[in-house]
């Protein structure tokens, strides 16, 4: 099958993980399989789809070299600190690709572990398919993300509010190191264990930092930069994660855990979809400051390594954390300039962007569709485009475009490269999931995935997927735990 597994994580102190075999399932069936990802991992796609391959994807068999573990970590869940860990996921190993890269292979929904906290360790089909759809859409949108190799059904039912078909998702990640992993090490382990974790992280993800005088300070800076970039990318496409707990924030800077996530339709910073986010902690407009808050927890965990003197360590951490707003704003402004066809920088750009967004809020404009209309120059239909505010803004935008002395062809080409013609609209995702779960029809999902694979193509075929939905007064997403 092409498996070349190691598990360097098991070289860390024993308290960071528990050796755990996946729970056997009765009748695994392959539902969807990511051929392109399998090839990049060096896996034989033909063999992987046989009974033997499916047994591995279900957790019934383990490939040679596998040391299956559940990882320990902690986290602030909606602000409240708690001990956590992989309650329904088993890391079977790290695949070494033909190019020498290393990726975690994790089975999500693989049964109980010592961190299950009374749960059954299983996953329902719908949430696993949601993660597959959204993670692949995020990749196509050029947003750092974990990926999905396959989803198999288990032939068993699980019990939530109702009976649901069980499933296992094979998740692929640069690693599953989280802010919560460092919180666990800081709170529940000795300093030498924390240092071992930090050294492992640097070796695995940031080897170029090892030669610095203070590599742990540089680690903090690099994680801050990567998270600033990631959150800016989320904001630029209207993505709302829904559960930005510290255990869902990777050190690598990849998006992880697609539970109650959704994409914003009508532009409104107050937008929240998650049924469990009753206080709107993780609403769209809060994602940058929450990322900053989470990074502060990361910095706190690193304090013993930053300097032996606590006061100096705190100062180093504060100096690094103070850079987050500027780094985030720079990434976001660069992205917004690209969405508006701007090639250079002017001091008034932020106001130009903010004025447009404020008008979009006032006239309840669709976020994605507004930028599509600007890109295609089809400024009709929406109330926004006939408003005084927009007409004045458009005049200012036109003058700004002229000042950069770039021809119109290049301007609109740049906009096309940065404004997706379609996103995984919530109603389309729900339709695909309903067809799969309720009717055992997976063609709707596969057609949607095909359309989402090239979001910047602006093809005729994509138009049926790009249609703005009729506004709903209420839409919720659920965690699926």
- Give the catalytic positions in this structure: 247
Euclidean distance between CA atoms 412 and 398, whole angstroms: 13
Give the closest residue to 355 by CA, choosing from 387, 377, 330, 325. 387
Neighbour count for residue 293 (Cβ, 10 Å): 17
Q: How far apart are CA 335 and CA 401, in angstroms?
A: 16
Tokens of 455: 């979001």
Q: Is 381 left (phi over 0), alpha (psi -120 to 50) or beta?
A: left
Torsion region of 307: left, alpha or beta (phi above 0 gives left; psi -120 to 50 gives alpha): beta
Question: Which residues face 274 on adjacent strands?
Answer: 477
**Block residue for tokens 């719908």:** 126
């Amino acid at each position: 099958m092409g498996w070349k597994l190691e598990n360097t994580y098991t070289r860390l102190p024993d308290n960071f993980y528990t050796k755990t075999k996946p729970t056997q399932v009765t009748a695994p069936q392959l539902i969807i399989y990511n051929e392109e990802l399998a090839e990049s991992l060096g896996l034989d796609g033909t063999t992987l789809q046989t009974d033997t391959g499916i047994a591995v994807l279900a957790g019934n068999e383990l490939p040679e070299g596998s040391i299956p573990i559940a990882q320990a970590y902690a986290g602030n869940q909606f602000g409240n600190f708690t001990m956590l860990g992989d309650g329904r996921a088993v890391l079977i190993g790290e695949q070494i690709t033909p190019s020498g890269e290393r990726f975690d292979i994790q089975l999500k929904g693989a049964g109980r572990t010592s961190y299950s906290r009374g749960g059954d360790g299983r996953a329902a089909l719908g949430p696993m398919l949601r993660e597959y759809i959204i993670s692949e859409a995020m990749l196509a949108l050029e947003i750092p993300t974990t990926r999905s190799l396959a989803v198999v059904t288990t032939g068993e039912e699980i019990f939530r509010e109702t009976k649901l078909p069980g499933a296992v998702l094979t998740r692929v990640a640069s690693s599953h190191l989280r802010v919560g992993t460092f919180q666990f090490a800081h709170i529940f382990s000795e300093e030498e264990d924390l240092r071992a974790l930090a050294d492992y992280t640097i070796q695995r993800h940031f080897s170029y930092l090892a030669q610095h005088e203070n590599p742990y300070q540089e680690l903090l800076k690099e994680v801050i930069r990567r998270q600033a970039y990631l959150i800016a990318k989320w904001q630029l496409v209207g993505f709302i994660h829904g559960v930005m707990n510290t255990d869902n924030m990777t050190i690598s800077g990849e998006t992880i855990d697609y539970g109650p996530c959704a994409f914003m339709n009508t532009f409104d910073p107050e937008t929240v979809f998650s049924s469990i986010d009753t206080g709107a902690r993780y609403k769209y407009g809060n994602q940058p400051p929450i990322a900053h808050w989470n990074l502060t927890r990361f910095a706190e965990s690193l304090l013993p390594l930053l300097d032996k003197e606590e006061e100096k360590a705190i100062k180093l951490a504060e100096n690094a954390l103070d850079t987050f707003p500027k780094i985030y704003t720079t990434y976001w402004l660069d992205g917004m300039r690209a969405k508006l066809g701007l090639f250079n920088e002017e001091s008034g750009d932020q106001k130009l962007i903010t004025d447009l967004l404020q008008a979009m809020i006032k006239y309840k404009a669709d976020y994605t569709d507004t930028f599509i209309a600007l890109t295609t120059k089809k400024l009709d239909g929406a109330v926004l485009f006939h408003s005084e505010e927009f007409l004045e803004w458009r005049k200012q935008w036109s003058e700004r475009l002229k000042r950069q002395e770039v021809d119109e062809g290049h301007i609109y080409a740049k906009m096309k490269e940065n404004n997706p013609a379609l996103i995984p609209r919530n109603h389309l995702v729900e339709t695909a999931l309903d067809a799969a779960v309720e009717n055992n029809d997976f063609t709707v999902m596969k057609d949607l995935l095909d359309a989402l694979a090239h979001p910047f193509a602006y093809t005729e075929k994509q138009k049926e997927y790009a249609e703005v939905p009729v506004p709903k007064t209420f839409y919720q997403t659920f965690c699926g735990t």
